[in-house]
Structure 1
Amino acid sequence: MKDILFFDSMLTPKIITVVYWLLLLGVLISGLGFMFSGQTGGFLGGIAMIVGGAIGARIWCELLIVLFKIHDNIKRVAQN
Structure 2
Amino acid sequence: MKSIFFFDSMLTPKIITAVYWILLAASVFSGLGAMFSDYGGGFLVGLGILIGGAIGARIWCELLIVLFKINANLQKIAEKSDQ
Per the normalisation by structure 2, the TM-score is 0.91
Q: What CA deviation, in whole Å up to 9, does each residue of 1:10-37 have, x standing for no partner? A: 0001111111000000001111111122
Q: What CA deviation, in whole Å up to 9, does each residue of 1:31-74 have, x standing for no partner? A: 11111221474111000110000000000000001000000000
Residue of structure 2 equivalent to 1:60: 60
Residue of structure 1 equivalent to 2:48: 48
Give the superposed CA RMSD: 1.2
Residue of structure 2 equivalent to 1:11: 11
Structure 1 residue runs without a partner (length 5+): none
Residue of structure 2 equivalent to 1:28: 28
Residue of structure 2 equivalent to 1:70: 70
Identical residues among aligned pairs (%) = 66
C-alpha spacing 1:41/1:10, structure 2 compared with 1 (3 Å): same
Report which structure shows greater RCO (CA 8 Å, sep ≥6): 1
Q: How many residues align?
A: 80
Per the normalisation by structure 1, the TM-score is 0.94
